[in-house]
């Protein structure tokens, strides 16, 4: 930042003697001039504008910059928000509890409907026991996949002999057989489960379906054995020979390896039927209605727990906001106070500059007066008078905003004295309001359970 130079160095740099002597040597009569020349005017402008004025502008710019920074401080707003914490947390928790109430009402309605459906299903079908089924679907499908792979691996070895692709071709043929067995097992398990239906017509139709699918499965398994045996006779005509042999003499399989294939396929079908059957309750449809009820029960319990977690999360978020706001107040107060101290420092520097400027102008006036006496130059004496006028018009800094901010600083200091109590009061308000809302939500849950008949869940 610019500063007033030392008087002797500044006067030396201005080359006053050369300026005056140049005008005297020019031979211009003194009586022909009523005002100072362009040379003196430029000298006066240089002193007042470039030396003194530039220092004033830079000091004033520094003060304005600090004033703008202080103008961005929001200590009053943050403090008011801190005092309004009780009202803010009340609105937030109230809005959250209303949303939770709507969600709980919807879930309770669905759960009550599912519970009613289960009771109607039980009464309609004469059931007094709970449904028995496997909760894990992943384990169920894993076992089925393992059975299919084992059957495919065993049968691929026996079918590889008649395939042009060897073991690879036998594997694909065995895999197709396993997929067919899987489909037959699924139909057998479905018809077997429907045999337990309370309706006699439904039960009779299921029995017919079960016998038909069982016969198809047995016929297919025996066909696999005949196909394996035909591969030993003629691999290229094995399919036709197998069908003919199966239709004429279904049990006339004379090859041991073929019987092994029949046994392996039959065991795979029976295991798959058992797995499909036991994964759900033996009564058809009982698992579906029970599973829906239990899913909604779990959803209801999860939402009840999540309601309190959500409220606690809102309270924790508000606590963090209050803590952050308290830190902002302290941080902005420190910055505000430091900015005022910097502005005071700039003002003190400018006062020192003014003293230097007065000394510089006094020295210039003495030089002009001395020159005027030495060389009888009235213009120099006249210009000395002009510099005396400039000495009386030295600019002052605009510090109106600084004085107002000093008054604000005193107010902020009083706020800081109350800040700890306000912060503790805000935290206590959050805790108290959270306890009240938690009690309201707990009562709301009990009321919803009573209204929808969900007590005891």
The pLDDT tens digits of the residues spanning 207-238 come to 999 999 989 988 888 888 777 777 666 666 66
Is the pLDDT score of 7 beyond 70? no
Can you give the pLDDT at residue 409?
84
For the chain, the C-alpha Rg in angstroms (whole number) is 51
Q: pLDDT by residue (tens digit) across 352-387?
A: 777 776 666 666 666 666 655 555 555 555 555 655
Can you give the pLDDT at residue 208?
92
**How far apart (Å, rounded) are the C-alpha atoms in residues 362 and 373?**
17
35 by DSSP, 3-state: which? coil
Under 8 Å between Cβ of 89 and 315: yes
Can you give the pLDDT at residue 78?
85
pLDDT confidence band for 413 (50 / 70 / 90): confident
Mean pLDDT, the chain, integer: 77
Can you give the pLDDT at residue 264?
85
Q: What is the residue whose two structure tokens read 């109430």?
A: 101
- Kindly tell me the number of DSSP H helices and DSSP E strands found in the chain: 14, 0
Please provide the DSSP assignment of 115-164 as one string: HHHHHHHHHHHT--S-----S-HHHHHHHHHHHHHHHHHHHHHHHSTT-T
Sign of the C-alpha dihedral computed for residues 23, 26, 30 and 32 taken in this order? negative
**How far apart (Å, rounded) are the C-alpha atoms in residues 232 and 372?**
141
Under 8 Å between Cβ of 425 and 84: no
Is the pLDDT score of 326 beyond 80? yes
Is the pLDDT score of 279 beyond 60? yes
**How far apart (Å, rounded) are the C-alpha atoms in residues 156 and 228?**
11
Is the pLDDT score of 325 beyond 50? yes
pTM of the model: 0.63
Q: Element (H or E) spanning 105, and its range?
A: helix 85-125
Q: pLDDT by residue (tens digit) across 94-146?
A: 888 888 889 989 998 999 899 898 889 889 888 888 888 887 778 888 888 89
Q: Where are the domains of the chain?
A: 7-83+301-451, 134-279
Percent of the chain predicted with pLDDT > 90: 4
| Cβ-Cβ contacts under 8 Å for 182 (sequence gap 6 or more) | 144, 148, 272
Q: If you average pLDDT over residues 376-401, what whole number do you get?
A: 60
Select from 309, 330, 288 the least CA-distant residue to 437: 309
Under 8 Å between Cβ of 40 and 47: no
Select from 56, 50, 47 the least CA-distant residue to 15: 47
Select from 313, 305, 306, 304 the least CA-distant residue to 105: 304
């Amino acid at each position: 930042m610019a500063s007033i130079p030392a008087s002797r160095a500044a006067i030396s740099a201005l080359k006053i003697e050369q300026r005056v002597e140049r005008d005297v040597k020019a031979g211009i009569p003194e009586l022909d001039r009523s005002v100072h020349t362009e040379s003196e005017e430029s000298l006066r402008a240089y002193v007042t504008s470039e030396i003194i004025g530039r220092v004033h502008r830079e000091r004033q710019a520094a003060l304005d910059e600090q004033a703008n920074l202080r103008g961005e401080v929001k200590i009053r707003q943050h403090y008011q928000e801190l005092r309004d914490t009780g009202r803010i947390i009340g609105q937030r928790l109230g809005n959250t509890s209303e949303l939770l109430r709507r969600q709980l009402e919807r879930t309770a309605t669905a759960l009550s409907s599912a519970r009613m459906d289960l009771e109607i299903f039980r009464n309609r079908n004469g059931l007094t026991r709970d449904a028995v089924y496997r909760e894990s679907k992943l384990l169920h499908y894993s076992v089925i996949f393992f059975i299919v792979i084992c059957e495919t691996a065993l049968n691929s070895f026996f079918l590889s002999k008649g395939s042009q692709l060897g073991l690879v071709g036998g594997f694909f043929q065995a895999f197709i057989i396993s997929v067919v067995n899987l489909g037959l097992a699924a139909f057998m398990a479905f018809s077997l489960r429907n045999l337990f239906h309370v309706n006699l017509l439904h039960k009779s139709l299921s029995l017919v379906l079960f016998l038909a699918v069982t016969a198809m499965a047995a016929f297919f398994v025996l066909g696999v054995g005949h196909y394996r045996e035909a591969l030993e006779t003629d691999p290229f005509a094995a399919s036709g020979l197998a069908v003919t042999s199966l239709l004429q003499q279904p049990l006339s399989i004379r090859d041991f390896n073929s019987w092994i294939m029949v046994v392996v396929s039959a065991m795979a079908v029976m295991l798959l039927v058992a797995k499909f059957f036991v994964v759900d309750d033996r009564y058809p449809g009982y698992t579906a209605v029970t599973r829906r009820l239990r899913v909604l029960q779990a959803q209801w319990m999860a939402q009840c727990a999540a309601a309190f977690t959500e409220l606690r999360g809102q309270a924790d978020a508000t606590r963090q906001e209050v803590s952050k706001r308290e830190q902002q107040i302290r941080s902005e107060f420190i910055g505000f106070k430091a900015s005022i101290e910097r502005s005071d420092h700039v003002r003190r520097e400018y006062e020192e500059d003014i003293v230097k400027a007065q000394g510089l102008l006094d020295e210039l006036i003495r030089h002009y007066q001395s020159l005027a006496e030495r060389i009888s130059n009235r213009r120099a004496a006249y210009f000395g008078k002009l510099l005396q006028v400039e000495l009386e018009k030295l600019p002052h800094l605009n510090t109106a905003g600084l004085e107002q901010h000093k008054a604000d600083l005193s107010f902020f200091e009083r706020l800081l004295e109350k800040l700890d109590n306000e912060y503790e009061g805000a935290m206590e308000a959050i805790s108290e309001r959270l306890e009240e809302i938690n009690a309201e939500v707990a009562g709301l849950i009990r009321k919803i359970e009573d209204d929808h008949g969900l007590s005891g869940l």
